[in-house]
């Protein structure tokens, strides 16, 4: 549906109240694409409906309702008839008993609507009820003084309240520039915070994974088991190697060499060692 989104809402506290109190007002919410209006319509006291208040509603209906909330002609006429009825109460054309009848019907209309249901159809039915129950003269706009308003006809909603296109674009451009400037400042601030709180750079060649492992955990990391080395046995060198020892300085210390004991048995290792030592000793004695 084109036009504004209009919602008529009762006072929730009075809807749920167990007492039979008169609801003080209902709220008419009007939403356009870029603008919204709120009209609080009195329903409990006729004295709260003043001529000044009605003049403010007339200005809204002939101005922002159509120029900023994009209301349709049908929506304009519906709200104008509601405002003209309030004007009749403010001028004394309708009395207190009429106001009570009017208020009860308006409260009933608002209470029947779902919170998210548009009020166009219900308002059209309510305005039809007004035309049936009240004099036709109160809806006559011939005696309505609109000379103080910048428009020509109450039934032809003007567009003069809409700012020029160039002004609108300039305003939008300024708003966008301010938002981009704000985002740029926030980005620079975030960069400064990251730079101040960043850890020191890692040394060259260090793996980021290895540096992330705590020292105790890294030290306890299991390694690949290595094959056991074959034990080496020491014994005296043969007697004929004495010339080598003399050439090295004539030391009388016996030279030692190692032999591979991989073929030695584990249990006979002691006896084999003794045999080696004894054979060497016998060679020296000879």
The answer to whether residue 116 is domain-embedded is yes
The answer to whether residue 175 is domain-embedded is no
Residues 15 and 148 in one domain: yes
Residues 138 and 12 in one domain: yes
Residue 286: pLDDT band (50, 70, 90) is: very low
Residues 27 and 143 in one domain: yes
Residues 273 and 142 in one domain: no
3 backbone φψ class: left, alpha, beta (φ>0; ψ -120 to 50): left
The answer to whether residue 58 is domain-embedded is yes
The answer to whether residue 226 is domain-embedded is no
Of all residues in the chain, the percent with pLDDT exceeding 90 is: 37
Mean pLDDT, residues 155-184: 60
* CB contact set of 70 (below 8 Å; sequence gap of 6+): 2, 3, 4, 32, 33
The answer to whether residue 179 is domain-embedded is no
Q: Which domain holds residue 55?
A: 5-165
Residues 125 and 246 in one domain: no
Q: Is the pLDDT of residue 264 over 70?
A: no
Residues 150 and 238 in one domain: no
In the chain, the number of structural domains is 2
Residues 131 and 271 in one domain: no
Which domain-ending residue is among 165, 182, 212? 165
Start-to-end CA distance of the chain, whole Å, equals: 127
pLDDT, tens digit, 9 for 90 and up, residues 84-106: 999 999 999 999 999 999 999 99
Q: Average pLDDT, whole number, for the chain?
A: 74
Residues 127 and 250 in one domain: no
Which domain-ending residue is among 119, 135, 165? 165
Let me know how long the chain is.
Answer: 286
The answer to whether residue 208 is domain-embedded is no
Record the pTM: 0.52
Of 208 and 195, the one with more pLDDT: 195
Residues 31 and 151 in one domain: yes
User: What is the predicted pLDDT for the residue at 67?
Assistant: 86
Which domain-ending residue is among 135, 165, 195? 165
User: What is the predicted pLDDT for the residue at 166?
Assistant: 52
């Amino acid at each position: 549906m084109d036009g504004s989104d209009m919602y008529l809402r009762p006072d929730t506290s009075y809807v749920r109240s167990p007492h039979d109190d008169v609801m003080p007002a209902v709220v008419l919410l009007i939403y356009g694409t870029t603008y919204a209006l709120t009209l609080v319509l009195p329903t409990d006291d006729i004295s709260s409906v003043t001529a000044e208040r009605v003049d403010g509603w007339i200005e809204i209906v002939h101005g922002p309702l159509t120029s900023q909330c994009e209301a349709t002609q049908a929506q304009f006429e519906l709200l104008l008839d509601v405002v003209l009825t309030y004007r009749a109460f403010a001028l004394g054309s309708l009395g207190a008993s009429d106001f009570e009848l009017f208020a009860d019907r308006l409260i009933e209309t608002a209470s029947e609507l779902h919170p998210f249901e548009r009020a166009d159809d219900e308002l059209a039915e309510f305005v039809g009820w007004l035309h049936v129950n009240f004099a036709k003269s109160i809806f006559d706009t011939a005696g309505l003084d609109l000379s103080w308003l910048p428009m020509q006809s109450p039934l032809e909603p003007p567009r003069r309240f809409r700012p020029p296109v160039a002004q609108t674009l300039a305003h939008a451009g300024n708003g966008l520039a301010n938002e981009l400037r704000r985002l740029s400042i926030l980005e620079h601030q975030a960069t400064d915070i990251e730079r101040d709180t960043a850890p020191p750079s890692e040394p060259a060649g260090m793996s980021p994974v290895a540096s992330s492992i705590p020292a105790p955990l890294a030290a306890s990391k299991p390694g690949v088991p290595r094959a056991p080395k074959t034990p080496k046995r020491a014994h005296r060198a043969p007697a004929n190697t004495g010339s080598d020892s003399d050439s090295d300085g004539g030391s009388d210390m016996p030279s030692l060499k190692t032999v591979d004991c991989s073929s030695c048995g584990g249990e006979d290792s002691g006896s084999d060692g003794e045999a080696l030592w004894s054979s060497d000793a016998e060679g020296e004695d000879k």
